[in-house]
Amino acid sequence: MRLKMYQLGELVGILFLLAATAMQMFYLEPLKREIEWRLVAFNTQQSARIQANTIYENHLELMRRMNAPEEELKAIEARRDKTLDGYRNSDANISDFMVAKEGVENHLEIFTIALFAIGSLLAGFGRAFEMLTARRIASE
């Protein structure tokens, strides 16, 4: 049994649909989840940075009002700066990750949509030609 051209087109279309589905399931969805997780972590880090800064500022203000020695104030400021520096590094890390992955994700989404559209068209045309051929054979 030899496959006709429209049957091959339908088979290729189904393979494109499977490829699009596999790309969506095994690459795009996990990538989106990872991006969402990193954004949640980033938001949590931002809240923690704001809270830490507020706590240190309140501590410094309280120590100033109590006329604390200048060395103690400088030590608190040094601890504050050291703590907030850790958050600055995490800001750079998340922004680098987002910039690197956003372009890849956009291109793969377009490619997946194109695969799905071409696969649907090929499978649909193959099925339509199959029905026309069956109708023509039945009418003869």
- For the stretch 79-126, pLDDT in tens is 999 988 877 766 667 777 777 787 888 888 899 999 999 999 999 988
Domain ranges of the chain: 5-135
CA distances, 97 to each of 57, 65, 92, 106 (Å): 31, 43, 9, 14
Mean pLDDT of the chain: 87
Residue showing tokens 């490829």: 19
CA distance 60 to 70: 11
Say yes or no to pLDDT of 24 above 80. yes
CA distance 71 to 127: 83
Confidence of residue 44 (pLDDT cuts 50, 70, 90): confident
Confidence of residue 70 (pLDDT cuts 50, 70, 90): very high
